[in-house]
Copies of this chain bind each other. A is one copy, B any other.
Amino acid sequence: MAVNTPNETLCGSASIHKNKVLAAIKAEPPSESLLELSELFKVFSDPGRLRILSALSESELCVCDLQEVLSASQSAVSHQLAMLRAARLVRTRRDGKTVYYSLADSHVRAILLVGLEHVEEKRGLA
């Protein structure tokens, strides 16, 4: 059992680049933002949700449409939609018994697109 705390086990201070470390710490976004950002990306980190967002970037759709697009159960789709709602990535509109979903804003598509670009590019030089 190690007694020393993990944080103090630094490599010899000779090889640390103090100024760069300080600059990096200074430039760091506030931890609030980092947390929100990580949660945002977490929502994007599931193929099912990506499919929903992709579908909604084509057109507004109701829950049972999405059920059909994803070939998933109503409950599963609804749970994913709840998460997307919580993350404010989608908007809802009710018409009678039917609830229609659409993308909340243009950032959603932007994030999808820049991510896809990266993936497609990396595929080339794999």
Contact = CB atoms under 8 A, between A and B. Distances in A.
Contacts of A76: 6
With most chain B CB atoms within 10 A of its CB, the pick from A10, A57, A121 is A10
A38 B47 contact: yes
A38 to B, nearest CB: 5
A37 B69 contact: no
Given A36-B119, A122-B88, A72 B15 contact: no
A126 to B, nearest CB: 9
Interface of A: 6-7, 9-11, 15-17, 20-21, 23-25, 27-29, 31, 33-42, 44-47, 50-51, 54-65, 67-69, 71-76, 88, 98, 105, 107-108, 110-112, 114-123
